[in-house]
Structure 1
Amino acid sequence: MCKALIIGAGGVGTVVTQKIAANPVFTDVMLASRTKSKCDAVAAAIGGNRVKTAEVDADNVPQLCELFRSFQPDIVVNVALPYQDLTIMDACLECGCNYLDTANYEPKDEAHFEYSWQWAYQDRFKAAGLTAILGCGFDPGVTAIFTAYAAKHHFDEIHY
């Protein structure tokens, strides 16, 4: 069985939390965000006291580590803002947590749409015996896969 900690209580965080809470493989589920009241609303909508909530600043590695050490998740699912990926990854490494995100890191002031910053963590996660799964959401991940499949199997040509 597995303990999951989701960081980010926006639209994607709400869906991720609903899906994880519905899956019996996850024995404990926590949703954390800068605004605990958003987490509480998501937990209440799911019902059944299935989801615990917490307030955390995803820009603050010591605060993230405090939460990780108290909850002890097997996996941290990052659906926070893209510029927060590296601090969450740093906290995962420090606390021995596996990591998953749905989008790639972007500096706060400029979108680059590349994984080089996160790929630089590969050896550190490997040495720690941890898994980091990057960009498994629709940004662009699955969308690009669906488009490539459609282009290969369903269309003669695609213009945009």
Structure 2
Amino acid sequence: MGKLLIVGAGGVGTVVAHKSAALKDVFSEILLASRTKSKCDAIAEKIGGDRIKTAQVDADDVRQLAKLIKSFKPDIVVNVALPYQDLHIMDACLETGTS
């Protein structure tokens, strides 16, 4: 079982969180992070239980995102943030050696 970090809490992030939470034998821990933590909290509450943890992160800030990645230590990062944030998220993953 692995740890999953989902970056982005829009429509696609909501679906990814729901589908990932259903895969209990695949993901031992799930962290949903977005610029607006209240969106993450609402998604986690809708899914129910303590399956999904939430965090606030600015995906445009490579240092902040790398710090979150280093502290959570995910096996996988799923990027469902806005397209212009792709390179920042990729840089944070490269900096931390995360896929």
* TM-score range for the pair, normalised by the shorter chain length: over 0.9
Partner of 2:87: 86
SS in structure 1 at match of 2:70: helix
Shift in Å, 1:29: 0.2
CA distance in 1, matches of 2:71, 2:22: 23
- Does residue 42 (structure 1) correspond to residue 43 (structure 2)? The answer is yes
Write 1 or 2 for the structure with the bigger share of strand: 2
Q: Deviations over 1:124-157 (max 9, x none)?
A: xxxxxxxxxxxxxxxxxxxxxxxxxxxxxxxxxx
Q: Tell me the C-alpha RMSD between the 2 structures.
A: 0.5
Q: Structure 1: which 5+ runs fail to align? A: 99-160
Q: Which amino acid in structure 2 is aligned with residue 2 of structure 1?
A: G
Q: Which residue of 2 aligns with 1:51?
A: 52
Deviation (angstroms), 1:2: 0.7
Q: Quick one: which amino acid aligns to residue 50 of structure 1?
A: R
Distance 1:30 1:21 in 2: 10
Residue 32 of structure 2 corresponds to: 31
Which deviations, in whole Å up to 9, do the C-alpha atoms of 1:64-117 show, x marking residues without a partner?
01100110000000000000000000000111111xxxxxxxxxxxxxxxxxxx
Structure 2 partner of 1:96: 97
TM-score relative to the length of structure 1: 0.61
Per the alignment, residue 20 of structure 1 pairs with: 20
Q: Which amino acid aligns with 1:73?
A: P
Return 5+ residue gaps in structure 2 as ranges. Answer: none
Pairwise CA distance, 1:7: 0.4
Counting only pairs closer than 5 Å after superposition, residues 96-135 of structure 1 correspond to structure 2 as 96-98=97-99
TM-score (norm 2): 0.97
Q: Distance in 2 between matches of 1:95 and 1:17?
A: 23
**Tell me, what secondary structure is at the counterpart of 2:19?**
helix
Q: How many residues align?
A: 98
- Percentage of identical aligned residues: 70
Letter in 2 for 1:9: A
* Displacement over 3 Å in runs of 4+: none
Residue aligning to 2:5: 5
For the residue of structure 1 that corresponds to 2:3, the secondary structure is strand
SS in 2 for 1:58: coil
